[in-house]
Amino acid sequence: MKVIGITGGIGSGKSEILAYLQKHTNCRVIIADQLAHELEEPGGACYGPLTELLGRDVLAQDGAIDRKKMAAAIFADQKLLERVNDIVHPAVKAQLMKEIAHERQTERYDYLFLEAALLIEEGYGQVVDEMWYIHADESTRRKRLKASRGYSDEKIDSILRRQLPEETFYEHCRVVIENSGRLADAYRQIDEKLGEESCQKQ
C-alpha cells in the first residue's frame, strides 16, 4: 500500500480530486480535519484537554464542543489558538499513524490518501510515501471560494495571507496536479500518474 499526502491551498479543488481517487482506485481516504473533529467529541482524546483549557462556555447543551463558540474564542486570541493547536495536532498525527499502520497490516488497499491542511508544516512528509500538490492559480481559487462559500474578497485575502507560498508546495511535493481549468484535465493527469504507478509495479 502506498501512502500519498494530498495538499494545496484553499479553493484548489482537493475535495473533488479526493472524490475522484476514491471512486477510481482501491483506496482509503483520510481527511485530517474530520479526524480532528472525532477526537474533539466527548470521549475523544482531545475533548478533556480542550474543555479544561477553554472552559464550559464553549460547550453545547448536549456537552459536545460547540465549534462556532470555540472558533470565536481561539481566533480572537493567538496564544490560545496556539495552545489549542498544541493539543489537537499531535493527537491527530498520532491517530493517523495508528490508522496507517493498521492499513499497512491489513493490506486491504492499494493506496491510502491523506488530506491535511498542515501536511507540510506538521512534517507529514516523513510519514507519507509521496506528496501531491493540487495547484490552482489565485484568480481561479478566488472565483471558486466566492461561488461555493460566498466568501468576500476581504475574507479570502485574510485566508491567503496565512497559507504557504507556492514555492514551498513545489519544494516538498513530488507530484503536481494542475487544477486551474476543467476537472476533466485534472482527472487525466491523475490517470496518467496512476498509470505510471501500475507500469512500475509490473
Give a yes or no: residue 13 inside a domain.
Answer: yes
Q: Is residue 45 part of a domain?
A: no
pLDDT tens digits, one per residue of 41-53: 999 999 999 999 9
Q: What is the pLDDT of residues 83-111, one digit of tens each?
A: 999 999 999 999 999 999 999 999 999 99
- Specify if 202 maps to a domain: no
In a domain, 83, yes or no: no
In the predicted structure, residue 200 carries a pLDDT above the cut 70: no
The H or E element containing residue 162 is none
Q: Is the residue at 99 inside a domain?
A: no
> Which parts of the chain are beta strand (E)?
2-7, 27-31, 111-115, 130-135, 175-178
Number of CB atoms found within 10 A of residue 31's CB: 17
Q: What is the CATH number of the domain that holds 123?
A: 3.40.50.300
Predicted confidence (pLDDT) at residue 123 exceeds the cutoff of 90: no
Q: Is residue 16 part of a domain?
A: yes
- pLDDT band per the 50, 70, 90 thresholds, residue 202: very low
Q: Above 60 in pLDDT, residue 198? A: no
Q: Name beta bridge partners: 113.
A: 4, 29
Query: Is 94 domain-assigned?
Result: no
Alpha-carbon distances of 20 from 1, 13, 33, 188, rounded to whole Å: 18, 11, 19, 11
| pTM for this predicted structure | 0.87
Q: How far apart are the first and last CA of the chain?
A: 15
Domain that holds residue 11: 1-26+109-197
Q: Rounded distance, CA 180 to CA 140, Å?
A: 6
Q: How many domains, the chain?
A: 1
